[in-house]
Chain A
Amino acid sequence: MGTNNLDLTNRPCKILVVDDEPDLEPLMLQRMRRAIRSGRYTFVFARNGVEALERLNEEQDIDMVLSDINMPQMDGLTLLQQIPKVDPNIRSVIISAYGDMKNIRTAMNRGAFDFVTKPLDFKDLRITIERTVQHMMEWREALASRDKLVALQNELNVANQMQQSILPSQFPKGSDYEVSASMEAARNVGGDFYDVIHLHEGRVGLAIADVSDKGVPAALFMMSSRTLLKGAAIGTLDPGRVLGEVNNLLDEDNDAAMFVTLLYAVYNPATGSLTYANGGHNAPLVVHADGRSSLLPLTHGIALGVIPDLDFLENTVVLSPGDTVIFYTDGVTEAMDDDGEEFGTERLFEIFADGPPKDSEEANNAVFKAVRDFVGDTPQSDDITCMVLYRKESDR
């Protein structure tokens, strides 16, 4: 079943009349001449069920069948069973002898939309045809919007799959540090991602990002951001240079004005030093081993893809054993409860008010639990993403 020719408002409705009575054809054309002339209906004719099926197969755009019951070769009741195999959206009206309830019941049970009785009352026939056409148009509109909905859903699924496919599933769990990360995708949005990149000299690159907008174009932008980042990261250990390079590449041909906020950090497990540059992303939270918490200072970078030739400042902090860095997207801090209140940075601090986490997994789970407890049943409007770097207590 195709979706072409669905719109009956722009073309006449094509009706196949099936009757072994040769006089019906000129009579029908004569009595329906006004509707034919005004372009509302066109008629095609067949003399029995077999011919009718031939017509239906030849002419793909027949909308409605008006058929007699008693005919040679193939009768109307048998034809009724065959029509849906050609096109389940064709509606049929049966012409029966007056009072022949048995055949009328059989026809209705076999899917006839309505019936008219002989001798034909053309006024009644016109009303019946009009009613059938009306029903068909509504049915087709419903089909078309269902198809649109399915297409939209497919697009969102594609975007979601793209997003899921680029997220790493393996995280470093070394003797001196470990990483955990997860993302809860919102139903209709897909823009967050994170990445863990193994660099030379034992360093590891950590990225967290949020692409503006949603759907397939945003997912494609996310894919290229991530690919460009990986490419740039391999070449240097300077996060600022990496962001500068990715920014210039993303800015080319970016007519849709999409952008990505991206924080990229290079961690050196040997010294605990973490050097980062920030393209417009939320400042990560550091939970120190002694229980204090603070946000990593902002380095005042602009989101990537907005304007070319930017310099991204770097900052370096040194993690002590037992320190935890929590990278997150605004899906965490802007998660809303039923009253429209945001989760906020304060609540992020409060998660670890009773003491620092024991490992990266625990910290990651604690963030998601706190957000979930806060929002309750309120539908999630943005991706929620969190990535945790934990420097282990030395050589236990």
Chain B
Amino acid sequence: MEVHAERDGGALIAQAAGRIDGSNAREFESALRATLSKQDSALILDMQSLSYISSAGLRVILMVAKMLQRRGGKFMVCSLSESIDEVFEISGFNRIIPTHATRSEALAALGE
């Protein structure tokens, strides 16, 4: 599992790669927290290169989403693979976390 961060305008984009499961969910959490500064009010998690995410990983996503919500920020995910999209669908996460097909769609939605 790896997390790379970059900025596009006012948005922080974190790209997660590999597998996220119970064995590295804590690392994923600290990596996300490390990329996010106090000033950041929008985070897009790009899942293009993510092959698998377990419920322990979803918990981290939920935690970050709640954290941003508390400070009035925005959180969204984009570029979900078919199997991860299914995980979001089954767990109901797609109804509480905005999901977008591509990064540019996510950025466009942020601008609205």
Beyond A212-B58, A213-B56, A261-B55, whether A382 also contacts B21 by CB under 8 A is: yes
Report which of B51, B55, B90 forms a contact with A212, defined as CB distance below 8 A.
Answer: B55
Task: Say if the beta carbon of A76 comes within 8 Å of chain B.
Answer: no
Task: Say if the beta carbon of A391 comes within 8 Å of chain B.
Answer: no
User: What is the predominant secondary structure among interface residues of chain B facing chain A?
Assistant: helix
User: What is the predominant secondary structure among interface residues of chain A facing chain B?
Assistant: loop
How far, in angstroms, from A189 to B89 measured CA to CA in the complex?
23
Beyond A330-B55, A381-B21, whether A303 also contacts B92 by CB under 8 A is: yes
Residues facing B in A266-284 (CB within 8 A) are 279-283
Task: Say if the beta carbon of B109 comes within 8 Å of chain A.
Answer: no
Question: What is the chain B residue whose CB lies nearest that of A261?
Answer: B91
Task: Say if the beta carbon of A131 comes within 8 Å of chain B.
Answer: no
Q: Is the CB of A382 within 8 A of B90?
A: no
Beyond A214-B56, A300-B95, A301-B92, whether A257 also contacts B63 by CB under 8 A is: yes
Beyond A258-B59, A259-B62, A342-B83, whether A302 also contacts B95 by CB under 8 A is: yes
Task: Say if the beta carbon of A191 comes within 8 Å of chain B.
Answer: yes
Number of residues in B with C-beta < 8 Å to the partner?
24
Q: Is the CB of A280 within 8 A of B92?
A: yes
How far, in angstroms, from A247 to B87 measured CA to CA in the complex?
20
Report which of B52, B63, B83, B91 forms a contact with A280, defined as CB distance below 8 A.
Answer: B91
Question: What is the chain B residue whose CB lies nearest that of A381?
Answer: B21
B31 to chain A, nearest CB (A): 17
Task: Say if the beta carbon of A351 comes within 8 Å of chain B.
Answer: no
Q: Is the CB of A188 within 8 A of B23?
A: yes
A189 to chain B, nearest CB (A): 5
Task: Say if the beta carbon of A245 comes within 8 Å of chain B.
Answer: no
How far, in angstroms, from A168 to B63 measured CA to CA in the complex?
32
A364 to chain B, nearest CB (A): 22
For B34, what are the chain A residues with a Cβ–Cβ distance below 8 Å?
Answer: none
Q: Mark A226-257, 1 if CB is under 8 A from B, else 0.
A: 00000000000000000000000000000011
Interface residues of A (CB under 8 A from B): 188-189, 191, 210-214, 256-259, 261, 279-283, 298, 300-303, 306-307, 330, 334, 340, 342, 381-382
